[in-house]
Every structure is written in structure tokens, then in C-alpha cells.
Chain A
Amino acid sequence: MSDYPQADDIQAGATKRRKAIEMGALALLVVAFMIVSLIRQNPFAKGADPAKAIGVIVAAGLTLIMYSFLYRDNPLFKIGENLYVGVSLGYTAVITWRDFLRPLVYQPLFEAPTAAALRNSLLHLTVPVILGIVLLARISRKHGWVSRYSYALMIGWGAGVAIPLFTNSYILQQLTAAVKPLQEAAGAQAVAAPPAFSQAWLFGVAGPIFGALVAMIGTVAVLFYFFFSVEHKRFGSAVSKLGIWFLMVSFGASFGFTVMGRLSLLIGRVNFLLHDWLNIPVK
């Protein structure tokens, strides 16, 4: 309660008025939505696909409810958000049964066509199924330690497999690729030997060499920037600064692409509202 009770009353009144206006506007919008939907997506029209028409109306309604968050957080948005979480939960539960438990566990063990198939399933699935059930012990505070056996197997396997694969794909192949343009440009120079400063020399030799050198120097500078075991003094400081510049250009490029990505999602939704819901034809 403030020192100015009259001001509080005025504020409360203004809030009540605002809420009344908002409720009125919401009611009008809902009515307008239903009218527009029934006109543009009449499920009872002759030849209409009622499931699709009702589906599009529901989808458009949910889309607009989600967009109401741009005005402000509101109960309708919260309902839509929680409904989405629930539908996602239910969907994942069904997929877990249909595409995991049923084909990988239930059918091999309980619907095996022959005795030999059942023996084969028991041989290969007994241990992982037991470990899988043991994994669920993680939920219990007292007995959760039992799940460590399942995690140990999965984590050990994952870590062991990752080392050679990551070394090959993310380190060796990348280092090879960093040097290869220089080799190729040198090869082009040796084989074709175009005259210096000609177009062929610029695009076939000098250009690739320059680009490869820029990329290599940049890679080393960026790696050095993240190397904190050595103090970045004098020459190290200059290399580190160069690394920052490369990173800034890269982050700027990433921002540009992020803008593109987010706007594309908006364009997709607007396309749905205009094309699929309102049936406005594309010119």
C-alpha cells in the first residue's frame, strides 16, 4: 500500500478497465476467427474433407494462440503451450511402444514365430532387457546406484567407439583438408605453369594458395586463442587478437544465417495461415 491511496485506487481502476477491454477484444477476435474459419474452411460443405478442414481450423487457432504471446503472456498461450507439451509426451510414449518396445523387445520375446527364433531372442536380448529395466532404477534415490551398471556399459561403449572415429573424422581429415589446397595449387603450378598474374594463375594458383593460407592461419589463431595454459603475451597476444577477429567474422556470419533461419520459420507459418487456412491462392 503506497502513501497515496487515491493513486492506488486510480491504478486499480485503470487495470480493471484494461482487463475488461482485453476480454472484450479477445471475445471479438474469437468470434471473428470462427466466422472466418467457417467461411474459408467449411467442413460441412459438399465435397469437403471434414477431418482436414477441422484440422486446419484447429491448427490455425493454435498458431494464433501461440502468437498471442507477442502481445503478452496470457492464459490462452499457457493452455496452448501445456497442450503442446502433453501431445508431445503422448506422441513420444506411443512411438516408444510402437518403434522400440514392440519390435525390439515384445515381438522377439513374446511373439517369436519358432522355438529357434525364441532361443535366438533370449540369447541376444536377455541381458540388454535386464540392464534396460535396471536403468530405470535411476528414479529411486535409495536404489539408484544399481543403474550405474547400465550406464557403465553404455558410456564405456560410447567413449571407446568415439575415440578412433572422432580422431579420424574431426581431426585427421580436417588437418588433411587444411593442407590439401596448398598441395593442389602447387601441383597446378607445376603441371600447367600459367603465366604469373594471368587469370588462370590468379584463379588456379594464387587465389587458392592465398585462401588456404588465410584459412590455415585463422585456424591456428583461433586454436591459440582458446589455449589458456600459456599466457598470451607479446607475439601470443597478437596471434590471440587475430583469432578473435576471425571468430568475430565467423559469429557475424553465423548471426546472419541465424536471422535467415528464424525468419524462414516465420515465413513458413505465415504461408500456412494465408495459403492453407485462408485459402488465398498464390499468384
Chain B
Amino acid sequence: MILKRTIPLLIVFGIGVLAFMQDYVPHPWSTAFRDEMTTWTMVIGGFAMFLGLYSLSHMHITKIRRKMPGWGYSIFVFIGAVGMIAVYILGDTIGPLYAGTANKKSLFDWGYEYILVPCSATVFSILAFFMASAAFRTFRARNLAAGLLLAAAIIVMFGRVPVSENVSLRLFGDGMVIPNLSKAIMDYPNLAAKRGIMLGIALGMISQSMRILLGIERSYMGGGD
């Protein structure tokens, strides 16, 4: 229990208090401590990347091993992963594609630019279609609050695009009326709400940090006390 719980909690408290104080102490020891700790946390944080890689690999290996539904597709995960690692290890000059050209891009960069980038960009762009369909289906002004949301959304959506300046010019004789109305919504009520939310979150994060330092919050330790 002392090794499993007490000492880690003491480490959290001790390091946390020193971390808090170093911001207010201009002594060179304080700066040296901060420099050392940032190096340590960068190195330890880097090892955490292995956990992510392991977790994803383990999930797909388990899926293949147990022949779970859709296990065949998990093979493509390893085809992609091993392929990228292989082209990096084998270096820049694989294949006749690069022989004799002044191409400074490696096959590794090629894989990133022509496989990872289009897949990643496309998957998120699909949301545009579903968002349009959902907006048509569900965006209803059922009450005052929903009506306010709808009105603000329409004014901001319209005010942010160039066509609003044309329309504004024709309707009001000044091309900036609708864009300025959109800007006013962002500058005042939006600012107020976002600031209120930010203050609440900041207070929550500070209290959560204090709970961690004082050992009240221990979820980071994992289970199995």
C-alpha cells in the first residue's frame, strides 16, 4: 500500500507544490528545476506515445486472432502500418519511380501526402453532407431559445460569406450592414457566453488541479489499489 499508493501521492504533492512555486521564484535554481522537469516530462511523455501505438495494434491483433466480425479489414491496418515503416527503413531510393529524377520527396513523404492526407481530409469532409441533412431535419424554432439560436445561426452563416455584402448593398445601400450585424453577434453576446464558459472551465480546472495535488482525485493512478 505504501509503495502502491502513498509514495505516488507524495510525489504528486511534492512535485506539484514545487511546480507551483517555481513560477514565483526567480532564483536560478528554480529556473534550472523547471528546465530539468520540462526535459523529464518531454521524455516520459514521448514514451506514452508507445502506449497509444500498442493499444491500437493490440486491438486489431485481437480482432484478427479471435476472428471477430470484420477481422479481415484489420489486416489492412497492418498492411498500411508495415508499409509505411518499411519505406522509411528502406530509404528514399526505392523503385524506378525515383531513379534519375530530381525528386526530393521520399516514398515515406509520398505515402503521407497521397494516402494519409486524402483519407484524413475526406473522412472529415463527409460531415458536411450529414450536417446539411441534419440541419434540414432537426433545426426547428420550437420556442424562444431555439428561435434565438436559429436567428443567430442564420445571421452569422450569411454574414460570413461574400454574397452578404452584395445583398446588404442592395437592401441597405451599405455593403457592411449584414456583416457588421454578424460581427456584433460575435463581439457581444457570443463573447459574453464564451467568456462565462471559459471562466467556469478555468475555475474547474484549477480546482481539479488542487484536488490532484491534495490526493483527492486519483483517477490517473488507474485501478487495482
Binding site for B on A (CB under 8 A): 49-51, 54-56, 58-60, 62-63, 66-67, 69-70, 75, 78-94, 96, 98, 100-101, 104-105, 124-125, 127-129, 131-133, 135-136, 138-139, 141, 144-145, 147-167, 170-171, 174-175, 178, 211, 214-223, 225-226, 243-260, 262-263, 265-266, 268-269, 272
Contacts and interface: CB of A to CB of B under 8 A. Distances in A.
Given A135-B51, A218-B188, A59 B43 contact: no
Dominant SS among interface residues on chain A: helix
B222 A138 contact: yes
Interface of B: 3-5, 7-9, 11-20, 22-24, 36-37, 39-54, 56-57, 70, 73-85, 88, 97-98, 101, 103, 105, 108, 110-129, 131, 135, 144-146, 148-157, 160-161, 185-203, 205-206, 208-210, 212-213, 220-222, 224
Nearest to A260: B160
Contact of A211 (B53, B101, B105, B188): B188
B84 A249 contact: no
Given A90-B85, A128-B39, A129-B43, A256 B152 contact: yes
A231 B46 CA distance: 46
Which A-B residue pairs are the 6 nearest by beta carbons? A86-B80, A218-B192, A160-B19, A90-B84, A222-B196, A252-B152
A67 B122 contact: yes
Contacts of A262: 124-125, 127-128, 131
Of A149, A225, A250, A251, the most chain B CB neighbours within 10 A belong to: A250
B80 A253 contact: no
Contacts of B81: 86-87, 89-90, 93
Contact of A223 (B44, B47, B156, B196): B196
Given A51-B110, A62-B122, A263-B128, A144 B98 contact: no
Nearest to A272: B118
Given A66-B126, A159-B16, A160-B213, A88 B116 contact: yes
Contacts of A216: 192
A146 B107 CA distance: 40
Nearest to A124: B39
B190 A250 contact: yes
